[in-house]
Amino acid sequence: MKLKNMNITKQLSIALSIIIFLVTLLGAASLYDAGKLWQSTKSLYEHPFAVRDATEALNNDVLNIRIEMKELVLENDQLKTQDRQKAIDTYEADAYSQFNTLKSLYLGPKSDIENAYNSFVQWKPIRDETIRLFQAGKIKDAVADTTFDGLEAKQAIKITGEISVIGTFAEGKAVQFYNSALSEKNQAIIRVSAGFAVAILVIILTSVLLRRGISAPLKELTAATKAFQRGEPDAKSSYESKNEFGVLSGNFNAMVDTVQSTISENESIAEISEVMVMKNELRPFCEELLKALLLYTDSQLGAIYLKNEVTKSFDYFESIGLSTVNRASFSLADREGEFGTALASGEVQHLKDIPPDANLTLSAVSGEYKVREILTIPAMKGNEVVAVLSIASIKNYSESHVRIVDRIAGEISARLNSVLASQKIIEYSEKLKNTNTELEQKTTELSMQADELTEQNIELEMQKKQLDEASKLKSTFLSNMSHELRTPLNSVIALTSVLNRRLRGKIPDEEYSYLDVIERNGTNLLALVNDILNLSRIEAGKDEITLNHFDMEKLAGEVTEMLEPQAQKKGIALINRLTGDEFAMVSDREKCRHILQNIISNAVKFTDEGQVEISAVTQEDEILLSVRDTGIGIAPDQLAYIFDEFRQVDETPSRRYGGTGLGLAIAEKYAKQLGGYVSSKSRQKV
């Protein structure tokens, strides 16, 4: 395979492999040389240096033993004599340790070590004899042994000489190891230098070859790119190869073709868009649009069909080159013909390979031509197809022509919807003019009716003022009448009470009972007058509120105590459940008493058996007071009216329970004045 056609990746891989191989080889050689140098250095350290250290230590031990022996035979102090003997033993032990080191590391004749060792061992009994003479008091003989000519001193000198032989050999071995290491170093420098030179040559050669294979196509592609940037239409790369640069060159040329095609398509789309903007009326718009589509897609036939909401079909509207036979409408529901797929998908459809027997031809002077391909464009409004455009060609459409249609389809839909909307606006404008004329007539009629209503409103306002005045007069009358009636009624009740006390047992019982009837009816009449007076005050807005601090429990107790006789008389239980000190409140005490009295007395009034129960709970800053009874109940249709004025549960002429129907109405109005409310629930007994 030629280098030009070889993949750049493969070329780089081969070059990198060669470099890695050379670097690895050079590294291996360096490691090998370093190993040999290390071995020489290690041997130099482990034998000559270690042996030298051991012989020096051994000489020191021998010398120290000699010194201690000389001092020992001259010592007069027994304790110091013992200390010197211990020091001799310590030096002796260290000497044996050094001999062991020499035996393991010495590379010379083993006899050198054995001679020195045996001499050292033989020195022990000689020293012991010298010490014995010292201990026996033969000081002169002991001192003589430690002198230069003495037996003990001669033995030490012998040992030192034999140790010197070992040291001399070690120094010679050190010189030998040094020379060997120096030789290895020189050889390593030669080998590494040679390898480095070879590697540099190979890398340079590889770089030159790679540069030739890369720079030429790069220059070609760079020149083509610059030409393309300058706007030259034929700016293409002439480099051909099977490697990556060849592929890149081919892709660059394909990109240039694509860009040129895109530019041409954009120009065609811009021309079509400009044509669509020029016309706002529906038929001229459709005519110009078909002309532009046929021109820029190399088509020969074109038609537009609009949706008919009434007939649920697409009706023929405008065409170019289409025969009368092919202008029929088609069904929206059936989605038939070449338009069916476009209606179903809402996307542009490209119909190819039309059968030769299809009844779709182009008539020309030279004869009839069969249509080969059709492009169908649905015009969308949201998800709904509002129109269908169809263009056809007697040749095959190119990919560029199909892309033009795909790209312009959305704009066609938007612009056609705008024109259709404009057309509808024109139609609606005409209808609006007619409608405005009718509305103007109706407005005149309504104006006349408004004048009549204004007069009626004036009359109603006058009637309202009269009613308000009448209501004020009613309240004033009730207030005045209540004051006028209360004075004689109080007198009647008081006089009746006096007569009741004085005539007890003095007149017949039947006549005496009349006094009870008078007093009871007077009291009821006074309560009625008071209720009417209170109601008139409330309606007139003259009823004032006086705030007091009081306990609702005590107030409920007072009211139940007052109504207890009435309950006992009917044989029912009146139960007060309020206990504790959590019912303190600030309000108008008299109005609260009036509310409780009216509600509880009403419950007692309509309860013939069972009980009336008063209870309360606190909820945040409110007290919820509840009055429950086992009375007759209230019908559901009457429950909404029990707080109305003068409203009775039983309003028939033969009603069983008396009363004016003001008690609950006043209680409800007082509750509203105090910022509270009154409500009721009931189940009517059957």
Mind listing the pLDDT tens digit for each residue in 307-360?
887 777 778 888 887 777 666 777 666 655 556 777 777 788 888 777 666 556
Return the minimum-mean-pLDDT range out of 99-113, 338-352, 415-429: 338-352
d(CA 611, CA 577) in angstroms, rounded, equals: 12
Any idea what the Cα angle at residue 491 is, between residues 488 and 493, rounded to 5°? 110
Q: What pLDDT is attached to residue 335?
A: 59
Token code pair at residue 667: 């209680």
Residue type for 205, please?
Answer: L
Interstrand relation of 301-308 and 384-393 (parallel, antiparallel or unpaired) = antiparallel
Q: What pLDDT is attached to residue 202?
A: 76
Is pLDDT at 1 greater than 50 in this prediction?
Answer: no
Strand (E) or helix (H) holding 330: strand 330-331
Bridge partners of residue 615, in order along the sequence: 626
Is pLDDT at 620 greater than 80 in this prediction?
Answer: no
d(CA 221, CA 213) in angstroms, rounded, equals: 13
Domains of the chain, first to last: 8-207 (1.20.120.30), 280-397 (3.30.450.40), 544-673 (3.30.565.10)
Query: How does residue 652 score in pLDDT terms, banded at 50, 70 and 90?
Result: very low
Mean per-residue pLDDT over the chain, rounded:
76
Q: What pLDDT is attached to residue 681?
A: 80
Residue pLDDT, tens place only, 162-216: 888 887 887 777 777 677 767 777 777 777 777 778 778 877 877 776 666 666 6
CA atoms lying within 13 Å on the CB side of residue 351: 22
Any idea what the Cα angle at residue 182 is, between residues 178 and 186, rounded to 5°? 170
d(CA 224, CA 245) in angstroms, rounded, equals: 13
DSSP 8-state class, residue 626: E
Q: What pLDDT is attached to residue 530?
A: 65
Q: What is the mean pLDDT of residues 56-70?
A: 85
Query: How does residue 284 score in pLDDT terms, banded at 50, 70 and 90?
Result: confident
Q: What is the mean pLDDT of residues 568-578?
A: 87
Q: What is the mean pLDDT of residues 587-616?
A: 86
Is pLDDT at 448 greater than 50 in this prediction?
Answer: yes
Residue pLDDT, tens place only, 5-15: 556 666 666 76
Q: What pLDDT is attached to residue 422?
A: 80
Is pLDDT at 382 greater than 60 in this prediction?
Answer: yes
Is pLDDT at 365 greater than 50 in this prediction?
Answer: no
User: Helix, strand, coil: what percent of the chain each, to 5?
Assistant: 65, 10, 20
Q: What pLDDT is attached to residue 32?
A: 64
Handedness of CA 28, 29, 32, 34 (dihedral sign): negative
Question: 151-229 and 110-135 are packed helices; what angle lies between their axes, rounded to 10 degrees?
Answer: 140
d(CA 61, CA 94) in angstroms, rounded, equals: 7
Reported pTM? 0.35
Kindly list the distances between the CA atom of residue 241 and the CA atoms of 55, 122, 216, in Å, as whole numbers in the listed order: 78, 94, 12
DSSP 8-state class, residue 49: I
Residue scoring higher pLDDT (69 or 28): 69
Interstrand relation of 313-320 and 330-331 (parallel, antiparallel or unpaired) = antiparallel
